[in-house]
A and B are shown apart, each in its own frame.
Chain A
Amino acid sequence: MGSEKRIVITGIGPLSSIGIGREELWKSVSQRKVNIGEGGYPLDDGDWERYLFHKIDKFDLSNFGIDDESIEAIRQWKDGEEIIDLNYLLAAIKLALDDSGINYRSENNQISLVLSHENLSLTPFALKMSHVAYDLLNGKPDGIPKRKLFDGIFHSCVRTGYDVQAFANLFHIARVFNVHDYSLFINNACASGLYALEAASDIIKSGKNPTAVVAASDYPDIYKFLWFKDLGLYSEDGVVRPFCRDSNGLVFGDGGIALVLEEFKHAQRRGAFIYAEYLGGGFSLEGWKITVPKIGSDSYQKAINEALTRSSVEPSEIDLVSPHGVGSQPIDYYESKAITDIFGKRFERPFVTTFKPYVGHNLGGSSLLEAAILILSLANDTIPATLNCENPDPKFNISLVRESVKTKLKTVLKTCCAFAGFNAAAIFRKVNV
């Protein structure tokens, strides 16, 4: 790796159904906690649909110590409407910055910002259009002129529609945290978080800033649920069972996550606590279908091998792998094939565990949220069990951990195979071991 800058993680700010903040989340994982709630969307004649998901029960943005003035500016722009996943991003970033001890309020704070999200503000826009169209047409059995309908929808929804554009959200968040340097918004579906992590690492390595905050979030809503239900990918009983014979789909999860990445020497100089080093990532784009992995291709293997090569890590050095683990037979097979192709078919190391049974599928935030739990596992020398897997499927040939294990961990791998064939892998190592 020569004189290349080393990248370390010095702040972790998670929000999830089982805990807000690093300590609460890890405590809940250690206790195998799960918190499932019910969602839906009210219409005049009852709920549109009801669905189960991993729910954050209590969330209040005012509890996070973010300056009221900057939040008020967002509320004014949005006419008072609260955008849940934007709020999750704000809270996660504040938690991570507080955890790292970095003072973002100082002038010239030298912080870069990388946000990732799959669909920020899209559902509020879609729902508002539906309501406006209904109101315009209600009580008019002969309809209304097309131009009147289009004009009405445009004028009522233009502000909400504007916010679907990623830059508007980047603007709001950067303003809150006094970020005036390099900033970026990334969308690579469920792998967004790992792509954002790599981008943040590159920013630091390029010398733009010694510190970069990378953040992601998502929340379950009716549109996402209906989409996944139509695809046959949503678990009706609200239980995700990765790599099991009786897996029947994924379950969404509320959440957000921010990590503070820092140049190693910069972190050392200020005496920061270092959770782990980010050794590097690997990425590939399969380019076959949007919603189906190409069984038989070697695209996922390519991403994992690239991460190993770039990190100068041998497969035998990986202690623990945390794959996407969505609990869908084809995707579980696709993942287990990549893992066994690289690490061999053996029921030893690397151990494999998954975190969606704890926090659900946080979509665009999932890979980074799960990377954070993996880093906490590394820091605590503990492998949390994969929950809900009473009937592991032997055809997957992986060493799935079903009871939590306390064991020395040094190097861990997070992988993700996302919609559209975005495959990603990231390797983390404990520092000074």
Chain B
Amino acid sequence: MIIKPKELSSTNTHLFDYCVVGTGPAGISLALSLSKCGRNVLLLEAGGKDYSDESQSVYKGTVIGDPYHNLQTARLRYFGGTSGHWSGWCRTLDERDYLRKATFKDTAWPITKKDLDPYFWRAAEILEIPSISADILLSESTGIQKIEFVFSTPPVRFGEKYWGMIANSKNIFLCLNANVTCLNSNEKQITSIDVIGYDGLRVKAIANTYIIATGGIENSRLLLWSQINNNGSILPGESPIGCYWMEHPHFTIGEAIIDSSFSGNTYYSLTQNKQDELKILNCSLRLEPIRRKGVKRLINNLACAAPELGHWMYHQFKEELVCGATLRAAWEQEPIKENSIRLSHSENDRFGVPRVELFWKKSKRDIETMRASAIQFGKYMAASNRGRVKLDDWVINHEEPPIDDELGGFHHMGGTRMAEDSSHGVVDKNCKVFGQKNLYIAGSSVFPSGGCANPTLTILQLTLRLADHLLGKR
């Protein structure tokens, strides 16, 4: 059922079992899972049923460091959350992604792939995706493997798909236009949360347990502000709130002349052993076909570097035995403490909460992950004679990436990372906030490392696991 913010005061007379803040994929999936087991869930959404500038403007923020997307448009603030512009890409994280690596010590999760695998099919049902084929090793020596992404087609818009179910639910109390500004804590448990409506009405929402699911930037922002307003009593002082924020850098890194048998988009990565050997993180490479005109230009360019090969390639092209492709990469960033969400000292939103400042830079090791992976791929293509790869100058010459490319995948990860203890993270392996008895975080902000897979599927797996934990099912 739908309630208004002003009704929160009166509904507080009966306690909600859970208060879920945020209606993106994590918030909605969690509320539905809890309500199916008969629990009363207060579901708070800061925006309305549809997009509004009034709500979206709260997401204004500043990026300091590398060029990045406008924070006001990089996520959506209305019912259904950022699933409203989700592109539908899905893949699970690899086994190695969860592990501590010899040269990247801060990448370890306190759980393994096996902890999330049991939640694949339930997540797949929600996201409307098929199973994902196993990786296919193409070359032991170069470590190149073919990997698969599957697609939610058309991408599931959580707002559209679940509006009716939630609006008609008897035990989900959806409150729209409810802006959560602060968590209030007493004796290591959250006692209430402050909610403000667009009309300025201030109310407190009360539940037994609180789950924050406001996205990979706002989760950190809310905790940082609440920590200040509670005199540092929400989390232990050493907790790295907002730190280790990550994206998946997305760039065009080269072109290729390839065997015509390549069909459509194909995806590659390096085996775990090869990543270990090269001391790099995970990187997915994608070949996107280009027009014939572009292939002629590429062959001419190849002929300058290797005339005989260029001549042979031209004949292959005339026989339609080769075609052209753009080589694109999306890769894992090493978790760095300095890449972080912070609160502005000079700008507040309309509710008086400091706006976000995002400090984000790609490290030299981040670029090396992509560069080394691309070179291995080029070697594989040449050795198997399935084509030749040309890397862009900035990749070859160790220069800064172009600023007019895709930059990132809108994948906001980290900030409230999962860890074994509060000095290394904000939540434990069950997504419970360290130092609080009844506060949990859902979403990609808990990722300690990001792999090279789009995060939505993992977010869903983690959320369903959290629901089982809250319901005492595991």
* Real binding pair: no
Q: Which A residues have a C-beta under 8 Å from some C-beta of B?
A: none
